[in-house]
Structure 1
């Protein structure tokens, strides 16, 4: 199925498939290609409307009877770490950060495989080989960086890779496309630490937001995101404070989603007159 806007990118909808977050539900995605001279402008504009990037595709959940998946971002200026998050920063202060161009390495892939085998052995990425991993890292038409976190080895002579994050640089923030870490360091809360460091990076760069991907009420996999203060979610066509996460209802409703054609018509594209207001 295809829907288009005049002189605009073409939007498509995937076929329904089992939802990876909420058992017993089906998901589908609205997506468009990310290519050409306007790729960065399109990525910036659609990221502010709940879309996420995967290689050269931008997508957003568009389920027929469920709208539980909510794009989430942290307001950098208002973020205040919790006591637990401060302990996580202290625990990982020995890690060194290295920012690289989006180029895949064998060391990254080895860590990626260990992470998947331990945390997501039955997930959709479980069978990803080294070539698909390289495509995930390297196929980006916009400004992206690979941020590595390393610890000194026991002999003190080398550095062991502890965590990696593929990060897009938007005009208003940092978008954490995908991160993974050493499962043997689970007690160090590396996933939380990488987010905290991205908040620090965004603040240093004068960028107001850190985009975390989707938060799904009712999904244990996504519960950690609601523990960050100054969190906003994109719902009803605008960004709003998360507030109490318990107040969000993940139960499906047959009238919860607009028809696809209406969803496409409401998208604000770069260079076009806005259709609906944003923050």
Structure 2
């Protein structure tokens, strides 16, 4: 499939074959993928985000399943965002933590935390066997402007604090994209997933960026339902972005 213009402007899209769905093990899935060999991917990526696409490694994809439309791309319009009471409590509970933004470079400290998270959250799901190569292949793109938002315990005297969370974040002129978040399961009570999103919202606000893209909210999927708690929220219907509740009411 191609979106035609001048020859140099042609945008090529590919449809994958059927593969196991990563969210519903009894289902199969298909994706639309931007041409991974297109040298313009870095420049096309912000537009692709606005069309409901995501990045995984160097692939930019969007679910394109014939019989299932459960995956809904969502984003936070960060300048209108207002944390609710629970989210404000999460920020207060984690006020002792150190947050910093670093280059997306592989380090043993990062991989060790990633492996612990997968072993706890995705045991026997396939991802828990990821090694350092898969870590880089999945999270760090060769053309994307990716950063790690690191979350650390208060530092002891003379050294950095223990790393307990990482939000892998792509930076574009149109907004931030929350690619993946992993954290120390021993600190799950802190609500580090929520805290990471709130920190990404604050980051986008500081940079005067309009949106934080959260990937896909998935109807009836408990692990993805948390995204609806960030309001206001916008959902993509395949043509345009709508207020989240209005989009769902039309389905």
1:26–1:248: structure 2 CA closer, same or farther, 3 Å change rule? farther
d(CA) in 2 for partners of 1:217, 1:72: 12
Deviates more, 1:5-14 or 1:166-175: 5-14
Match of 1:160 among 135, 159, 162: 162
Counterparts of residues 121-160 of structure 1 (less than 5 Å): 121-152=123-154, 157-160=159-162
TM-score of the two chains, using structure 1 as the length reference: 0.82
Counterparts of residues 44-193 of structure 1 (less than 5 Å): 44-152=46-154, 157-193=159-195
Moved >6 Å (runs of 4+): none
Tell me how far 1:62 sits from its aligned partner: 0.2
d(CA) in 1 for partners of 2:119, 2:151: 20
Counterparts of residues 191-206 of structure 1 (less than 5 Å): 191-206=193-208
d(CA) in 2 for partners of 1:94, 1:61: 39
d(CA) in 2 for partners of 1:73, 1:96: 26
**Count of residue pairs brought into register by the alignment:** 247
d(CA) in 2 for partners of 1:174, 1:139: 15
d(CA) in 2 for partners of 1:247, 1:82: 23
User: Which ranges in structure 2 are unaligned for 5 or more consecutive residues?
Assistant: none
**Which residue is equivalent to 1:259?**
none
Tell me how far 1:36 sits from its aligned partner: 5.5
Give the RMSD, CA atoms, in angstroms. Answer: 2.1
d(CA) in 1 for partners of 2:103, 2:38: 20
CA contact (8 A) 1:226 1:245 kept: no
**Which residue is equivalent to 2:13?**
11
Deviates more, 1:133-142 or 1:185-194: 133-142
1:158–1:73: structure 2 CA closer, same or farther, 3 Å change rule? same
Tell me how far 1:248 sits from its aligned partner: 7.3
